[in-house]
Copies of this chain bind each other. A is one copy, B any other.
């Protein structure tokens, strides 16, 4: 028997063009490949083209990641007829230009977070999105970890009552060693900020997403513990095995800590750092409400802890919910209960909701307006951290 298997040719095609192919590009490509394998998408994803400046490198990436074609100029990618959606996986300083061009060309856009490196850029992007026919989504991917989705739904269902406290931490240690080299992520021009924009943005978004509230004010401190680092021979990646002997300045924050006031009246604490030795990617969220509490740690990403204050005291306790049941968001499409998912799966779920939104016309969240709101919080953090008035000394002079 040699007839080819039936292809899902009955559904409309969605041509995808991705700009950038490094860490985020790898994760996005995996999502574009996986989504149609595990979910019944309303559109037929066509991984049309990937763009990068180095032709040899982008060709290799295309082969590895499964893109049909390559471009060495993102503008060419945006201009292609076979591209319906532009997936922006470049450093933050290029997000605004690419995303706005794509929106103006009538494309849908998925843009990696943070939306931009400044509020002004983010405002321009949100304005472009408001005018454009296409869907515009920002890649706060962790929203689509199933345990986070469950957390959101518990809050939305009133299971927590009024939110009193949010404590949010994003702890890493990949540059705790002063010998770790410079990379674009430590360069303010490219990255906009350091821990704040890279990982702090995620916990601001998650805190707002889960509570359904906004951070209305902050009091903040930024710190750069190691101000000079070795220059790696190649500064394009997250790691470098050899050093040039030269050093260069770190121009972004190593850590950001801030207090926040939630729009519902609750208090929040935020901490984003790359200097927490032993914590690799610990996104921790704990929310206390007037009716219950939630706790999450990405180091145990398939689990959500939930405390129901209505339980009798003798048997009350945080429930360790293993979020791998068919009843849980997205999970039923994958494996049986207890067969946990990994980091990459949230990217697939993001594609599922994005494609669904494009098909139905319902804008999938987080929108560019949501991304702008996060950007405003990050901006307020930077302004607060720059103000002398933040600190009250423990000893009056």
Contact = CB atoms under 8 A, between A and B. Distances in A.
Interface of A: 1-8, 23, 27, 29-30, 33-34, 36-37, 59-60, 62-72, 76, 150, 154, 164-165, 167, 169, 171-174, 176-178, 214-221, 223, 225, 238-239, 255, 257-259, 261, 265, 267-269, 271, 273, 275-282, 286, 288-293, 298-303, 305-307, 309, 311-322, 324-328, 334-345, 373, 376-377, 379-381, 383-384, 387, 389-395
Contacts of A23: 335-336
A313 B325 contact: yes
A217 B325 contact: no
Contacts of A373: 394
Given A1-B70, A5-B63, A37-B64, A176 B394 contact: no
A380 B340 CA distance: 32
A214 B392 contact: no
A150 B317 CA distance: 13
A214 B60 CA distance: 45
A70 to B, nearest CB: 6
Given A59-B6, A338-B282, A345-B342, A271 B167 contact: yes
28 contacts: A5-B59, A5-B60, A164-B176, A165-B271, A172-B337, A216-B394, A216-B395, A217-B392, A217-B394, A218-B394, A219-B392, A221-B267, A225-B265, A276-B286, A278-B293, A279-B288, A298-B338, A299-B303, A300-B300, A305-B317, A306-B315, A313-B326, A314-B328, A315-B319, A318-B319, A318-B320, A339-B344, A380-B395
B267 A269 contact: no
Contacts of A390: 219, 259, 389-390
A219 B391 contact: yes
Contact of A293 (B225, B277, B334): B277
Contact of A392 (B70, B218, B286, B391): B218
Nearest to A58: B5
B275 A164 contact: yes
A313 B327 contact: yes
Nearest to A215: B394
Nearest to A64: B37
A225 B255 contact: no
Contact of A306 (B30, B214, B317): B317
A288 B273 contact: yes
Query: Across chains A and B, which 8 residue pairs bring their CB atoms closest together, nearest first?
Result: A280-B338, A281-B338, A278-B307, A342-B342, A317-B319, A5-B62, A389-B389, A384-B392
Contact of A30 (B37, B217, B380): B37
B27 A33 contact: no
Contacts of A34: 30
Contacts of A66: 37
Contacts of A286: 276
A316 B309 contact: no
A380 B392 CA distance: 6
Nearest to A295: B278
B309 A278 contact: yes
Given A6-B59, A219-B391, A300-B300, A339 B281 contact: yes
